A = this chain, B = another copy of it.
Amino acid sequence: MSAVPDTPLFQPLYRQIAGLITKSLDGGEWQPGQAIPSELELAARYKVSQGTVRKAIDELAAANLLIRRQGKGTFVATHAEEQSRFRFLRLVPDDGSAERLSRKFLDCKRMRPSAEVAQALDIPGSQAVLQVRRLLYFRGAPVVLDDLWLPLSLFKGLTEQVLSAYEGPLYGLFEKEFGVRMIRAEEQIRAVAADAQAAPLLEVAPGAPLLSVSRVSFTYGDRPVELRRGLYDTAHHHYRNRLS
């Protein structure tokens, strides 16, 4: 007969600390790639033991918000490093070769969001979004056609020139220039037939089977900040996934 609240009010101390650290990350107190204070410093700051801070950091490291490096410190995760480049891009060539990929931006325009886009981004239909269309090339051949929708309020100043000028992963640009950090995403994958618009861009026959990948990316606090819809030509590549 005891009341069981849906959202428990009393969290263990280490989880409260994890929440405070997350709030500091969200607030920009520590920048991506930089070290956060040492465990002993944080313990003093929050008036808890080092072990409690350790457990809080363990959680955030498991969620890929932080990266621990023995002897050096604990660092804010970043998309700007080579290591994390394939954390969100799961398409790999069938022969396992490490191809370098290039890209081309086809379009970048502001627009009113469709109902679907507005719902995915959790914004009112009256709030403008930016739509970006791009092609990814593996070894010179087009393999991925991506459409991105971004809330304009978070990405003021993003233009095709800015996109084309930046080297490196898009999420690196987002976190560096706009302070928007992607920390997780949900994808919906299905097989579709290439339509008249996509087929020539991907250089496949109309009706050819393509992988459709819809992704909503989230920042701190599970706030959606990007909707992405990709069409993958999987003739010589596949989407790799690990179940555990």
1/0 contact string of A55-72 vs chain B (CB within 8 Å): 000000011100000000
Let me know if B191 and A210 touch, CB within 8 A.
yes
Q: Which of B186, B192, B237 contacts A240 (CB 8 A)?
A: B186
Min distance, Cβ A228 to any Cβ of chain B, angstroms: 11
Of residues 117 through 160 on chain A, the ones whose CB sits less than 8 Å from some CB of chain B are: none
Min distance, Cβ A58 to any Cβ of chain B, angstroms: 9
Interface of A is mostly: strand
Q: Which of B191, B241, B243 contacts A192 (CB 8 A)?
A: B191
Chain A interface, number of residues (Cβ within 8 angstroms): 34
Min distance, Cβ A180 to any Cβ of chain B, angstroms: 16
Let me know if B207 and A190 touch, CB within 8 A.
no
Q: Which of B188, B242, B244 contacts A238 (CB 8 A)?
A: B188
1/0 contact string of A202-235 vs chain B (CB within 8 Å): 0000011111100100000000000000001010
What are 25 sample pairs from A and B whose C-beta atoms fall under 8 A apart?
A: A62-B62, A63-B244, A90-B243, A184-B242, A185-B242, A185-B243, A185-B244, A186-B241, A186-B243, A187-B243, A188-B240, A188-B241, A189-B189, A189-B238, A189-B239, A189-B240, A190-B211, A191-B191, A191-B211, A192-B209, A192-B234, A193-B208, A209-B209, A211-B211, A215-B243
B-binding residues in A (CB < 8 A): 62-64, 87-88, 90, 183-193, 207-212, 215, 232, 234, 237-244
